[in-house]
Structure 1
Amino acid sequence: MTNTLALAARLRGMPDDALSVALASRTFRRQGVTDFFDLADALLDRDSVQRVLSGLDRTLLATLVALGEIQQPLSPDEVATRLSTAAATPGLSTPSARAALSAVADALLAHPEGDDRFAVYDAVSEQLAAWPGIGLPSPAALVDTPPPPALAPVPDTERRFTDRLAAERAFEAGASVSELIAELAREGARELQKGGLALPASKRIAGALATDVSTVPTVLSVAARAGLIAIDDGVWLPTDAASTWQHAPSLDRWRALATAWQDALPDDLRGILADRSRAAWGESLRDYVAWLYPAGRANAQERVTAYMRDAEWLGITAHQAPSTAGTTLVEHGPDAAAAALRDLFPAEVHRVYLQHDLTVVSPGPLEPAIDARLRGMADVESRALASTFRFSAASVNRAITAGETAESIRSFLAEVSLTGVPQPLDYLITDATERYGRIRVRDVDEPGSRARSAVVSEDAGILRTIEVDQALSSLGLVRTAPDVLQSRFARDVVFWALSDARYPVAAEDAHGNIVGIRRHRLAHPRPHSDGVPYADLIARLRAAEVDEEGSTHEQWLARQLDLAIRAKQTVIVEVALPDGRQLDYVLEPTGVGGGRLRGRDRAADIERTLPLSSVRGIRPAEPGA
Structure 2
Amino acid sequence: MVSDERALALQLAGLDDARLGEVLTTRAVSAGVAWRDFFDAAEGLLEAGSVDRALTRLPRAALAALAALADGEDATIDAIPSSSQLLVGGALPTAVAARVRRTREARPAAFSAPEGAPPPPATAAQEASAAERAFTSTGALADLLLATEQSPLSSTATGSISASDRRRLLEAGIVEDAEALDDLATIARAAVLIDTAEREATVSDAGDRWLHLPTAERWEHAATGIVAALPVGLRDRTGGIRAAADHAGAYPLDEDWPPVAAQWGRVLRRWGLLDDDGAEPAWTRALRDSGAITADALRGHLPTEIDKVYLQADLSVIAPGPLLPDLELRLRGIAARESRAQASTYRFTAESLDAGLTDGETAEGIRAFLTGLSLTGIPQPLEYLLDSTARRHGAVRVRTDDARALTVVEVDDDDRREALSVDQALRPLGLVPEGKVLLTRAGRDTVSWALSDARYPVTMIGDDGRPTSPRRSRRPAPHDAAAPGRFDELIARLRAGHSTDSDEAWMQRELEQAVRARAAIRVSVRMPDGTDRELTLEASGLGGGRLRGLDRAADVERTLPLRSIVRVTPV
Query: Kindly tell me: are residues 374 and 580 of structure 1, through their superposed partners in 2, closer, same or farther at Cα, counting changes over 3 Å?
Result: same
Aligned to 2:194: 229
Q: Is the 8 A contact 1:255 1:334 kept in 2?
A: no
AA matched with 2:414: A
Does 2:286 align with 1:315? no
Does 2:471 align with 1:471? no
Does 2:445 align with 1:492? yes
Does 2:411 align with 1:456? yes
Aligned to 2:538: 591
Deviation at 1:28, TM superposition (A): 5.7
Q: Provide TM-score, normalisation by structure 1.
A: 0.76
How many angstroms apart in 2 are the aligned matches of 1:15 and 1:210? 46
| 1:56-82 Cα deviation digits (max 9, x unpaired) | 44555455555555xxxxxxxxx5xx3
Q: Is the 8 A contact 2:399 2:408 kept in 1?
A: yes
Q: Is the 8 A contact 2:37 2:493 kept in 1?
A: no
AA matched with 1:507: M
Instruction: Work out which of the residue numbers 252, 269, 286 in structure 1 matches 2:248.
Output: 286
Q: Is the 8 A contact 2:104 2:110 kept in 1?
A: no
Equivalence map 1:245-324=2 (5 Å): 245-271=210-236, 274=239, 281-287=243-249, 289=250, 293-296=251-254, 298-319=255-276, 320-324=278-282
Deviation at 1:171, TM superposition (A): 0.8
Stretches of structure 1 that go unaligned for 5 or more consecutive residues are: 70-78, 84-91, 602-608
SS in 1 for 2:317: strand
SS in 2 for 1:162: helix
Deviation at 1:243, TM superposition (A): 2.5
Aligned to 2:544: none
How many angstroms apart in 1 are the aligned matches of 2:34 and 2:144? 49
How many angstroms apart in 1 are the aligned matches of 2:44 and 2:336? 61
Stretches of structure 2 that go unaligned for 5 or more consecutive residues are: 542-546
Q: Is the 8 A contact 2:37 2:495 kept in 1?
A: no
* Total equivalences in the alignment: 549
SS in 2 for 1:348: coil
Deviation at 1:226, TM superposition (A): 1.5
Q: Is the 8 A contact 2:64 2:113 kept in 1?
A: no
Deviation at 1:181, TM superposition (A): 1.3
How many angstroms apart in 1 are the aligned matches of 2:455 and 2:568? 84
Deviation at 1:221, TM superposition (A): 1.2
| 1:288-317 Cα deviation digits (max 9, x unpaired) | x2xxx4433x34544433322211111111
Query: Kindly tell me: are residues 129 and 244 of structure 1, through their superposed partners in 2, closer, same or farther at Cα, counting changes over 3 Å?
Result: closer
SS in 2 for 1:18: coil
How many angstroms apart in 2 are the aligned matches of 1:266 and 1:385? 33
Q: Is the 8 A contact 2:408 2:440 kept in 1?
A: yes
Query: Kindly tell me: are residues 167 and 555 of structure 1, through their superposed partners in 2, closer, same or farther at Cα, counting changes over 3 Å?
Result: closer
Instruction: Work out which of the residue numbers 112, 117, 120 in structure 2 matches 1:154.
Output: 120
Aligned to 2:50: 48
Does 2:517 align with 1:517? no
| 1:226-278 Cα deviation digits (max 9, x unpaired) | 2222224432222222222112111111111101111212444333673666x
Deviation at 1:354, TM superposition (A): 0.5
Q: Is the 8 A contact 1:394 1:503 kept in 2?
A: no
Task: Tell me whether 49-58 or 356-365 shows the greater mean CA deviation.
Answer: 49-58
Aligned to 2:312: 355
SS in 1 for 2:123: helix
Does 2:110 align with 1:131? no
Task: Tell me whether 518-527 or 246-255 shows the greater mean CA deviation.
Answer: 518-527
Equivalence map 1:99-248=2 (5 Å): 99=78, 107=84, 109-112=86-89, 118=91, 120-121=93-94, 123-131=95-103, 135-137=106-108, 145=112, 147-148=114-115, 150-151=116-117, 154=120, 158-208=122-172, 209-248=174-213
| 1:576-612 Cα deviation digits (max 9, x unpaired) | 45554668x7x9x5624695778999xxxxxxx9966
SS in 2 for 1:295: coil
Query: Kindly tell me: are residues 180 and 56 of structure 1, through their superposed partners in 2, closer, same or farther at Cα, counting changes over 3 Å?
Result: closer
SS in 1 for 2:390: helix
Query: Kindly tell me: are residues 423 and 523 of structure 1, through their superposed partners in 2, closer, same or farther at Cα, counting changes over 3 Å?
Result: same
| 1:328-374 Cα deviation digits (max 9, x unpaired) | 23433555x30001110011111111011111111111111110000
| 1:538-557 Cα deviation digits (max 9, x unpaired) | 157449x99xxxx9687445
Aligned to 1:331: 289
Query: Kindly tell me: are residues 267 and 15 of structure 1, through their superposed partners in 2, closer, same or farther at Cα, counting changes over 3 Å?
Result: closer
Query: Kindly tell me: are residues 554 and 464 of structure 1, through their superposed partners in 2, closer, same or farther at Cα, counting changes over 3 Å?
Result: closer
Q: Is the 8 A contact 1:444 1:454 kept in 2?
A: no
Query: Kindly tell me: are residues 439 and 325 of structure 1, through their superposed partners in 2, closer, same or farther at Cα, counting changes over 3 Å?
Result: same
How many angstroms apart in 1 are the aligned matches of 2:285 and 2:142? 25
Identity %, equivalent residues:
31
SS in 2 for 1:377: coil
Task: Tell me whether 192-201 or 501-510 shows the greater mean CA deviation.
Answer: 501-510
Query: Kindly tell me: are residues 508 and 166 of structure 1, through their superposed partners in 2, closer, same or farther at Cα, counting changes over 3 Å?
Result: same
Instruction: Work out which of the residue numbers 381, 394, 410 in structure 2 matches 1:424.
Output: 381
Deviation at 1:376, TM superposition (A): 0.9
SS in 2 for 1:452: strand
Instruction: Work out which of the residue numbers 381, 384, 406 in structure 1 matches 2:338.
Output: 381
SS in 2 for 1:381: strand
SS in 2 for 1:427: helix
SS in 1 for 2:300: helix
Deviation at 1:132, TM superposition (A): 6.3
Q: Is the 8 A contact 2:322 2:344 kept in 1?
A: yes
Deviation at 1:165, TM superposition (A): 0.9
| 1:427-446 Cα deviation digits (max 9, x unpaired) | 11112112222333333356
AA matched with 1:318: D
Deviation at 1:111, TM superposition (A): 4.7
Q: Provide TM-score, normalisation by structure 2.
A: 0.83
How many angstroms apart in 1 are the aligned matches of 2:193 and 2:118? 37
Q: Is the 8 A contact 1:67 1:120 kept in 2?
A: no
SS in 1 for 2:295: helix
Cα RMSD after superposing both structures = 3.8
Query: Kindly tell me: are residues 501 and 330 of structure 1, through their superposed partners in 2, closer, same or farther at Cα, counting changes over 3 Å?
Result: farther
